[in-house]
Structure 1
Amino acid sequence: MTTLTEAGRKTTVVPPVSGDFSSCQQKTIRLYPVSNYTFGTKEAQPEEDPSVSARLARLQENYEQYGMRRTCEGILVCHEHGHPHILMLQIANAFFKLPGDYLHPGEEEIAGFTNRLNERLAPVGGQYAPDQHVAEWDIGDCLAQWWRPNFETFTYPFIPPHVSRPKECKKMYLINLPKHKVLSVPKNMKLLAVPLFELYDNSNRYGSQLSAIPQYLSRYNFEFVDENDVVIGRSPTLTH
């Protein structure tokens, strides 16, 4: 509703009601508050390589033996104050990454990805009550594929035209979090809930892959619920 002033008079202008704009819309995702999740710790998981150059050298060695590396990472979404947040690992108070890792040679994709998620975040046996410690993951849509053309740090969301044999493909999957879940984080890492507005267009801090997550998720509508499973908001909410 807009108020205009014409020759000393105030005129109220009501915009017309817009038409439906939800054709072919993706499914609505229900998000639970971050307070619904229990966070524990487990033994540290040091990085396999002491430097970037060492990691690229190992990538080249593995490529010559096994071919292109296959990596899977999970986008775990919850909410805080009615805004989507991504659960993200932080290493050495500086480096951010999504839970997941590369698949072993010959490992089936989803089964291998589930194994990597368990290695990163599943609680260890006996750490929690038996009914809390079932390591199950609802792996949803593949939201992005990133390609490493050469044994370099540069990755792209497409395969460059001159590249016929990329060295790595990284897939990012949406992980549908249940109402409650226990997550155990390695002692040398932190698990942070990072809001979408912090990630968006912030490649200087998070890199090109993570800062693009808001674009990946823009295809979905969200439904926010509280700790009592009551819907407290939706996004987008449009006022006619």
Structure 2
Amino acid sequence: MGDDGRMHAMEDDESAAADQIRAIDIYPLSNYYFGSKEPLIFKDKTLADRVIRMKSNYAAYGLRTSVEAVLLVELFKHPHVLLLQIRNSIFSLPGGRLRPNESDIDGLKRKLSRKLSANGSPDASDWEVGDCLGTWWRPDFETLLNPYLSNNVKGAKECTKLFLVKLPESRKFIVPKNLKLIAVPLCQLHENHKMYGPVISGIPQLLSKFSFNIIET
């Protein structure tokens, strides 16, 4: 193949790669209203309490399946992820555990409405749940979540699925008083395991297959 042929082949490969990159529309943080409501009651005061509860629930129901949302906004011309902050130190994505036989999409909409809408409104039709970005596994009760499940693990204890949730141009977020909803830039999350844990710090890599279309209003 001559130089011209190789050049055309490279251009075709680049064009094909560009076609595979999907765009995500994101809107400025200033488009959104943030209010508060009655605080949530947390079942676990310590990590040990959480492990005890997980063991009890696993004995009763088996594998714990959780769903979490990646919500994106724009601030300073850069994509930010909305995170819930607990006690000024613990960060989490909005979401939670599914009910028995509840679908991923229905469960995530229910959890988003409970934590981010006024009075935990049961009407979850306005949450637009998109791609599943990744699945994480907890092989036993005490270890961190992993983005894979080893063949030698029998009976994983928890499965967590991350979904991209597209936000509308504007909306009201009504958050429990004992939680904060904060916007954190992708560049701050990247591989920052110590502060955000393995799941949240892995979000920038999961989003690398997308481009960001910032909508100015």
Q: 1:81 Cα deviation (Å)?
A: 2.0
Q: 2:95 aligns with which of 95, 100, 104?
A: 100
- 2:11: which partner in 1? 19
Q: 1:62 Cα deviation (Å)?
A: 0.9
In 2 relative to 1, CA 40–54 (structure 1 residues): closer, same or farther, beyond 3 Å? Answer: same
Aligned to 2:49, what secondary structure does the other structure show? Answer: helix
In 2 relative to 1, CA 215–226 (structure 1 residues): closer, same or farther, beyond 3 Å? Answer: same
Q: 1:46 Cα deviation (Å)?
A: 2.8
- 1:13: which partner in 2? none
Paired with 1:30 and 1:43, the residues of 2 have a C-alpha distance of 32
Paired with 1:109 and 1:125, the residues of 2 have a C-alpha distance of 18
- 2:150: which partner in 1? 160
Larger Rg: 1
> Which of 21-30 and 64-73 deviates more?
21-30
Q: 2:107 aligns with which of 112, 132, 138?
A: 112
Cα deviations by residue, 1:31-63 (Å, 9 ceiling, x for unpaired): 100111111101101321111111111111111
Contact kept in structure 1, 2:110 and 2:124, CA below 8 Å: no
Q: 1:211 aligns with which of 186, 198, 201?
A: 201
Size of the alignment, in residue pairs?
A: 206
- 1:183: which partner in 2? 173
The answer as to 2:188 corresponding to 1:193 is no
Paired with 1:208 and 1:113, the residues of 2 have a C-alpha distance of 21
The answer as to 2:60 corresponding to 1:65 is yes
User: What does 1:64-143 correspond to in 2, within 5 Å?
Assistant: 64-124=59-119, 136-143=126-133
Paired with 2:148 and 2:160, the residues of 1 have a C-alpha distance of 11
Unaligned runs of at least 5 residues, structure 2 = 1-6
Paired with 2:76 and 2:113, the residues of 1 have a C-alpha distance of 28
Paired with 1:157 and 1:19, the residues of 2 have a C-alpha distance of 34
Paired with 1:99 and 1:22, the residues of 2 have a C-alpha distance of 36
Q: 1:125 Cα deviation (Å)?
A: 8.1
The answer as to 2:49 corresponding to 1:54 is yes
- 2:4: which partner in 1? none
Contact kept in structure 2, 1:118 and 1:135, CA below 8 Å: no
- AA matched with 1:61: S
Aligned to 1:201, what secondary structure does the other structure show? Answer: coil
- AA matched with 1:212: G
Paired with 1:56 and 1:64, the residues of 2 have a C-alpha distance of 12
In 2 relative to 1, CA 197–46 (structure 1 residues): closer, same or farther, beyond 3 Å? Answer: same
Unaligned runs of at least 5 residues, structure 1 = 1-15, 127-132, 228-240
Contact kept in structure 2, 1:147 and 1:169, CA below 8 Å: yes
Paired with 1:161 and 1:149, the residues of 2 have a C-alpha distance of 11
Cα deviations by residue, 1:94-138 (Å, 9 ceiling, x for unpaired): 000000001122322211211111111012389xxxxxx976200
- 1:232: which partner in 2? none
Q: 1:152 Cα deviation (Å)?
A: 1.2
